[in-house]
């Protein structure tokens, strides 16, 4: 019931239907980066399909190629904590890949950033490889995303890879090397979400300095009133444990926060990666009338 509610709210709140809705296919892959001493990058990849399931065929109804998104996880968080992301994004015609690397208590933010960048390049290669599940399905338009540590790593990725076309982050955390410093090298469209009740990575010391540092001509900061760090994702014991030790507490529900994210993320992606002017107009209109957020 929760998933149905989120999908309906995400569609209705933007004022129109985003188009064909696809089922969700899933495949587990380990990609090898030869440029980093054959580093293994295990991934969980979700994609549009005509029937939901593991290792199913890419959608035959879908015509043409679709944009790819790589998404970085939070500190000691698993990829399956982001079911809310792939269930919102994939049905709208996107590939979303989650690296499961750097999930230990001593992760390398820089390596995770490189993994996010590498995945986008590798998906393009797979899109040109006969026999691949992604053959002839991967567009050159792409986006790097992430939550918390993964959001900071997304800044590192976008700051170092001119092939990345857009960046969107959820409660991005400052990293080593610095995500804030990396922002100045980013010129692509950027969408920065913050929870105004985030006591783990407060906007004042994390997302706002990143947003301010961006060199992007098109950049948006959205602060979710009453929103928290962990409500950006689905339930995660490790995230909730950390959030339980600090204040302020969230003042909205997880479902409400997800609906707000979807309300802006989907049309923003559609505008920047699929060139949909209608979605761009919907995004702008929603910003100006939404009392649940503040924005820049």
**Model pLDDT for residues 69-82, shown as the tens digit of each residue:** 999 999 999 999 99
Given a cut of 80, whether residue 146 has pLDDT beyond it is yes
pTM (predicted TM-score): 0.91
242 pLDDT band, cuts 50/70/90, is confident
- Give Rg (Cα) of the chain: 17
Write out the residue range of the structural domain in which residue 103 sits.
2-295
Residue with tokens 């999908």: 7
Question: In angstroms, what CA-CA distances link 167 with 56, 68, 117, 190, 262?
Answer: 28, 12, 11, 5, 15
Lowest mean pLDDT among 13-22, 135-144, 193-202: 13-22
What is the number of H-type helices and E-type strands within the chain? Answer: 9, 10
Question: What DSSP assignment string belongs to 102-160?
Answer: S-SSS--HHHHHHHHHHHHHHHHHHHTSTTSTTTTTEEEEEEEEEETHHHHHHHHHHHH
- What's the CATH number where 23 sits? 3.40.50.1820
pLDDT in tens, 277-292: 999 999 999 999 999 9
- As beta bridge partners, residue 95 has 68
Given a cut of 80, whether residue 7 has pLDDT beyond it is no
Give the number of residues written for the chain: 296
* Measured distance CA(236)–CA(238) in Å, rounded: 6
In the prediction, which pLDDT does 244 show? 83
256 pLDDT band, cuts 50/70/90, is very high
Mean residue pLDDT across the chain = 93
Given a cut of 60, whether residue 4 has pLDDT beyond it is no
Domain count along the chain: 1
DSSP symbol at 58: B
């Amino acid at each position: 019931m929760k998933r149905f509610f989120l999908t309906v709210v995400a569609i209705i709140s933007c004022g129109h239907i985003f188009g064909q809705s696809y089922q969700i296919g899933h495949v587990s892959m380990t990609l090898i980066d030869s440029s980093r001493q054959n580093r293994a990058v295990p991934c969980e990849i979700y994609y549009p399909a005509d029937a939901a399931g593991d290792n199913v065929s890419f959608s035959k109804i879908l015509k043409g190629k679709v944009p790819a998104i790589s998404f970085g996880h939070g500190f000691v968080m698993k990829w399956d904590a982001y079911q809310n992301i792939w269930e919102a994004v994939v049905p709208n015609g996107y590939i979303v890949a989650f690296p499961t690397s750097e999930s230990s208590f001593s992760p390398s933010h820089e390596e995770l950033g490189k993994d996010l960048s590498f995945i986008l390049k590798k998906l393009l290669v797979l899109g040109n490889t006969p026999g691949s599940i992604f053959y002839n399905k991967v567009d050159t338009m792409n986006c790097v995303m992430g939550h918390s540590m993964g959001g900071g790593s997304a800044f590192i990725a976008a700051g170092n890879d001119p092939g990345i076309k857009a960046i969107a982050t959820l409660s991005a955390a400052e990293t080593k090397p610095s995500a804030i410093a990396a922002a100045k090298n980013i010129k692509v469209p950027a969408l920065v979400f913050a929870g105004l009740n985030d006591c783990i990575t407060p906007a004042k010391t994390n997302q706002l300095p990143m947003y301010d540092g961006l060199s992007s001509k098109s950049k948006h900061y959205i602060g979710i009133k009453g929103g928290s760090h962990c409500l950006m994702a689905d339930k995660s014991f490790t995230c909730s444990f950390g959030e339980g030790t600090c204040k302020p507490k969230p003042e909205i529900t997880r479902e409400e926060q997800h609906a707000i994210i979807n309300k802006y993320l989907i049309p923003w992606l559609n505008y920047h990666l699929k060139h949909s002017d209608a979605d761009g107009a919907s995004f702008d209109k929603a910003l100006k009338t939404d009392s649940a957020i503040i924005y820049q």
